[in-house]
Chains A and B, each alone.
Chain A
Amino acid sequence: MSSALLELEGVTARYGPVAALHGVSLRVGEGEAVAVLGANGAGKTTTLRAVSGTVRRGGSIVFDGKSIARRSPESIARGGIAHVPEGRGTLTELTVHENLRLGAYVRRDRKAIAEDEERVLGYFPRLGERGSQRAGTLSGGEQQMLALARALMLRPRLLLLDEPSLGLAPLVVAEIFRIVGELNEREGLAVLVVEQNAALALEASSRAYVLEVGKVALEGESAALRRDEAVRKSYLGY
């Protein structure tokens, strides 16, 4: 088993008086792709938000050997965790190019940033063509690609992906998952992906967790979960 890059233990989170996570424990190994499945309201999005520090949380969250449970979202991003949030977080009034530049905001190495922009645009050639266009004018699929490309500009060690398939056409979804898979395999980028579409998520990951009302109900190898009867019935629908 690879060493843990991210380790959550007994993580709780709440929105005001409403508790959303009741002690979630999960781990993502170095260079591993891990999926989080579950019904609406199970706490998938909140789990990612707990990691990136955008929700009030408790418990232990260790990234790269250091506790990040009390750190701010800004400092967690600086530490190398890129979070593509629900709704993609597009800076709609800025251009595509400006969005990408902001992805590398915390970095100082100008030359490497320029190289990375070229490399990232290699994955998403369509964004290159739209460089000076306002990001808000992009289609949903393009905005999801921009969000992903922008996250890569951080040179993250861990990518948090929230429902990348939401509201997109199947072809676009397949394209996005293909690229994420490539990044994971080729560049060793660790990925923690939350997804409604369980079949897709299990295919793209090596391990997965199933959340139910704010707790881990089931975990295992993705391939094994795909054969699991309960998972099939509740999440895969066959």
Chain B
Amino acid sequence: MLLAFDWTQLAQQIVIGLASGGVWATLAVALVLIYRSTGVVNFAQGEMAMFSTFIAWSLVDHGLSYWAAFLLTVAISFVGGVAIERAVIRPVERAPVLTVVIVTLGLFFLVNGAARWLWSPETRSLPNAFSTRPIEVAGVAFSIQDLGTIGVSLGAVALLWAFFRFTKLGLASRAAAVNPDASRLLGVRVSWMLALGWGLAAALGAVSGMLTAPALASFDQNLMQPVLLYAFAGAVLGGLDSPFGAVVGTLLLGVLINLVGTYVDWVGTSLRLPFALAVILGVLLVRPEGLFGHASARRV
């Protein structure tokens, strides 16, 4: 078996894994963004991304090109995310964490229901975002679709990182997330920073959804549910409070799952989700703060 090992196949499978990991990474960073500012995992993040994807589908259906629809959907999703925070999360801003978690669960069903009501439950598809031709790099054929997906998802995350790192508004929202009380005293409108975070998370989720859909032959309103699980598993692996960790965690998970699925017969494609759940469980048992997260000790 060792003799027959195919390095080309390994390289291809790694890139395929990175492509799925990249898509999960965008959603994972969205989860981390909300988690850092509110201390809860937004269970509705995937459904919001799914809703965005349906918006993109409608735009394409009305004649827009994929990329025009993509940009427009990102903008619409940002506004939608801000609106959701103002309408649904703001009233429970000071409530216990559990209350907020329940609210995001409610949001999950609300958004899912709204998507089923607005768009009939038949399956549909998005056009390919990239050429389906393969491209040869160092003698190995890769799909442009996979490489493009990796590029766009990591690009979106990098843009967001630059926003937080280099702009005054980004700085203020980081401050609001780590120490809301002290930030208020500096004149930072903390509550609006939360809304901004929800907007950015929704926009990032939209990217994730719009990259997920074209890779599938067809999709319906359950599009993002597995993606949310993988994103969550990857974020837990990297550390739920670390955006960098979330990216590394999801990429790692993407590659790992793909390689295990390829080389371990009995896992195949059917055991991919349980494998992700096993990762969550394993990380929580062995190193609850993840690879790059901070242990949740609090200074008093």
Contacts and interface: CB of A to CB of B under 8 A. Distances in A.
Nearest to A92: B178
Contacts of A141: none
A124 B175 CA distance: 22
B179 interface: yes
A209 B181 CA distance: 27
Given A102-B172, A102-B175, A54 B188 contact: no
A6 to B, nearest CB: 16
Given A101-B168, A102-B171, A105-B168, A90 B182 contact: yes
Interface string B152-189: 00000000000000001001101100110111111111
B187 A78 contact: yes
B188 A74 contact: yes
B21 to A, nearest CB: 26
A85 B186 contact: no
A234 B179 CA distance: 36
A94 B185 contact: no
A77 B178 CA distance: 19
Interface string A127-159: 000000000000000000000001000100000
Given A94-B171, A102-B171, A102-B175, A77 B181 contact: no
Contact of A91 (B168, B183, B189, B299): B183
B181 A105 contact: no
Interface string A193-237: 000000000000000000000000000000000000000000000
Given A77-B187, A102-B188, A54 B171 contact: no
B184 A73 contact: yes
Residue among A77, A89, A91 having the largest count of chain B Cβ atoms under 10 Å: A91
A222 B22 CA distance: 65
A92 B179 CA distance: 8
B187 A101 contact: no
Residue among B168, B183, B187 having the largest count of chain A Cβ atoms under 10 Å: B187
B187 A74 contact: yes
Contacts of A85: 181-182, 185
Interface residues of A, number: 25
Nearest to A53: B184
A98 interface: yes
Nearest to A79: B187
A147 to B, nearest CB: 9
A111 B187 CA distance: 20
Contacts of A57: none
Contact of B185 (A77, A92, A93, A98): A77
Contacts of A89: 179, 181-182, 185
A92 B174 CA distance: 11
Contact of A105 (B178, B179, B187): B187
B161 to A, nearest CB: 15
Interface string A71-113: 0111101100011010001111110001001110110000000
Contact of B183 (A52, A78, A101, A102): A102
A57 B175 CA distance: 26
B149 to A, nearest CB: 32
Contacts of A154: 186-187
Contacts of B175: 91, 94, 98, 102
B174 A52 contact: no
Nearest to B165: A98
Interface string B176-219: 00110111111111100000000000000000000000000000
A92 B178 CA distance: 8
A91 B193 CA distance: 16
Residue among A92, A98, A102 having the largest count of chain B Cβ atoms under 10 Å: A102
A91 B182 contact: yes
Nearest to B182: A89
B185 A52 contact: yes
Nearest to B294: A93
Contact of B174 (A72, A83, A94): A94
A106 to B, nearest CB: 4
A98 B178 CA distance: 13
The 4 closest A-B pairs by CB, nearest first: A89-B182, A106-B187, A77-B187, A73-B184
Interface of B: 168, 171-172, 174-175, 178-179, 181-190, 299
Interface of A: 52, 54, 72-75, 77-78, 82-83, 85, 89-94, 98, 101-103, 105-106, 150, 154
16 contacts: A54-B184, A54-B185, A74-B190, A77-B186, A85-B185, A89-B179, A89-B185, A90-B179, A91-B175, A91-B178, A92-B178, A93-B174, A94-B178, A98-B171, A102-B188, A150-B186
